[in-house]
Structure 1
Amino acid sequence: MSVQLQFKRNFILPLILTSSVTRILFSESNVLANKIESGLHYLDPNKKMTRELEKNNQPFKRRTPDYPGHVPLYNHEKLLMFLGSSIGSFFHPERNEFIVALGESTAIKPILKNLQSTMLSNAIGRQILREKPRITSTSLNLDYLRSLPDNTIGKSYINWLDREGVSPDTRVAVKYIDNEELAYIFQRYRECHDFYHAITGLPIIIEGEIAVKVFEFMNIGIPMSGLGALFAPLRLKKSQRRRLREIYYPWALQSGLNSKPLINVYWEKILEKDVDEFRKEMHIEQPPDLRNMRKEYFEMKRREKEGMKL
């Protein structure tokens, strides 16, 4: 597939949204920014935000929900949710309810319809939409994944989960996206995010999260994937910005554009597949090991500091 054809996937509207709200997500310190991904693994973070909406004494009647758990919002409420979650993310980027609400409020219908078309045009994508699988510790059987041979997708995934201390069970259920199938597509994207980390080997630290988000954005086009990518490096240290600029941004842009649509990957069906073979088929290059690169950098700085003392 040519680069021009790849650019037709989802980027015009996401780029408009991205440029306007990117500063919000990473406006606090790196310590807070590092908590964003971990914060997405949290049970029912929308509970406080929707409490008032779900009271019986509402001054107006809400339309019938499109699916269980759906909270239909009027346009002015969607706007208020976007503004509120943006402000909340500015002051508390570690608060999951703001990040999740911001993600759903920016996943507008034309972008999700575009993803739906991508899935409907592919046999595996159609199968995913027909069967609507969910990614949980039960559906994946984490003990079975630990028994798989090294270098399989399943073993790479469970090793990454264990190393980063996260679980597939705590991905938040979509509530505010209208249309059951579009809501599922966004839920699927949300639940597959950890697989993108696993196949690339990128950890949950600020640089790794930014790199994966750029990779996702260029491949899938969900606005939330690009919100922290443009201006987040302004808050980073010089060494972190250099690594992103020289290594991880070029990798994310190239692999994200050149790879086949990740939204069409039925991960549950290929857990036994060799991860290197999968990357080759998908045209994904594995980036350099970020943790080792940081370790080597800190070791170099330590030696320089000791040399100055001598």
Structure 2
Amino acid sequence: MDRNWTNHSSVSEFLLLGLFWKPQQQQILFVLFLIMYLGTVLGNLLIILAISTDSRLHSPMYFFLSNLSFVDLCLSSTIVPNMLTNHIQSSQTISFPGCLTQMYFFILFIVLDNFLLAVMAYDRFVAVCHPLHYTTKMTHQLCALMVTGSWGIVNVHALLHTLLMAQLSFCADNRIPHFYCDVNALLKLSCSDTHLNEMMIHTEGVLIMVTPFVFILVSYICITTAVLRVPSTKGKWKAFSTCGSHLAVVSIFYGTIFAVYFSLSLTHSAENDIAAAVMYTVVTPMLNPFIYSLRNKDMKGALKKIICINVFSFQQ
């Protein structure tokens, strides 16, 4: 594989220039990102552990949540450890195969996050709009099929763009103004024809990112319509509360993308790209466990049980 890539490019490694570009900010940013990454790992692992060990949480909603936590953990781990290691070693380099590998896993997990949010929106739609048929509709087989189907589609998507990138030539400039191997940054460095890559990004890439968002939007329109038909205020609040955590995560995920890439399009810059990337690769994966645990009594109970058991075992 390495030989094939070498034949297409005279560049054997790239320099990741993003994030730690100002010496006076390096130590502060390093500590901040280390703390956020450790929080991401701990928070998401606790969510997965709580769901797997507490029988009360063995339902479709928590099954999807455990998958989301796993994907968030993997997404952050694809980017942050390499960035922190490079800082410790005073190195900015990443090999050509390593760069493409990182790009593949970044595309995989960021799009899979998108798909899982859509799957969770469908789960909330069934829970609110068809509560009496929830158990018959949201079967274990359907839940497993939706998750495995998402993994399959996203794997093909990530592999497509990675293989297209591997066919390009990189001749001279190897400096990436980012803290990971971003697709757009790599395309700008290529000295070969990138029309096919750009066409696939603007067609298949946009379609696979927009479709889950539209699905989420339609689901919440149906949920809102159903909730408004509920006569009592208490009933409306109870129905909306079942969607609160998911809606908060969706708002943060898509709000970041829209705020940076659309609202700030007139003043688009590398700093805006990096700010957006930090939000959905570091901040959002860290916040998701807190959002779901703080708003959910069953989740808080399961987490307290795990913590108490571990503290008791440690004291013994």
Q: TM-score, normalised by structure 2?
A: 0.27
Q: Which has the larger radius of gyration?
A: 2
Structure with greater helix percent: 2
Q: TM-score, normalised by structure 1?
A: 0.27
